Amino acid sequence: MKKVIHTPIQDEEIKDLRAGDIIYLTGTLVTCRDDGHRRVIEEGVMPELPLDRIAILHAGPIVQEVEGGWKMISVGPTTSMRMERYEKEFLEKTGVKLVIGKGGMGNKTAQGCKESVAIHAIFPGGCAVIAAEQVEEIEGLEWPEFGMPEAFWILRVKEFGPLIVSIDTEGNNFIEEKKNTFRERQKEESAKVEKFVASFMQSH
């Protein structure tokens, strides 16, 4: 059954999720990347929109101005790891419950997700136009002085996803776990190859 998370996100709604689960988001989603994180953490300036219990997207969208508002053209996720140094404190300060981006995040964010009861999820790369189609409306804009990619675009989305939970509320890190599994398998296979080569050389 499709798991759809709704904003405002309640802790109980995400506590049972585990790294590797697939979810979708319906409700308020705000684009927020480097400059937005920097302003909140380093400058101590908060956006007018309360971010408590909603979701942010690490993305630099392409937006077209139309009569009466804006139209989302493309909204592909950007690399989440760029926000690693800010995310733990960002979660604490804002109350954001779901962070979405491209690729995984590190141990600091994993600790932040555990302490703040939040999750990080991955939106599939290369699907920026599909993501834009899941935006029902652009409801607002904050910090336009950052420029289109870095501004806070306030979006209303419906079943935005699929999203792969990469860090759950227990701090389990799906990407790091897979990396460790790969390293172990790599060691095993390398040992097999070395053994085969040594045996081959001895027999010839």
Catalytic residue among 6, 37, 58, 204: 37
Specify whether 37 is catalytic: yes
HEC profile of the chain: CCCEEECCCCHHHHHCCCCCCEEEEEEEEEECCHHHHHHHHHCCCCCCCCCCCCEEECECCEEEEECCEEEEEECCECEHHHHHHHHHHHHHHHCCCEEEEECCCCHHHHHHHHHHCCEEEECCCCCHHHHHHCEEEEEEEECHHHCCCCCEEEEEEEEEEEEEEEECCCCCEHHHHHHHHHHHHHHHHHHHHHHHHHHHHHHC
CA distance linking residue 54 with residue 5, whole number of Å: 10
Query: Are 54 and 10 within 8 A, CB to CB?
Result: no
d(CA 21, CA 73): 28
Residues classed as catalytic: 37
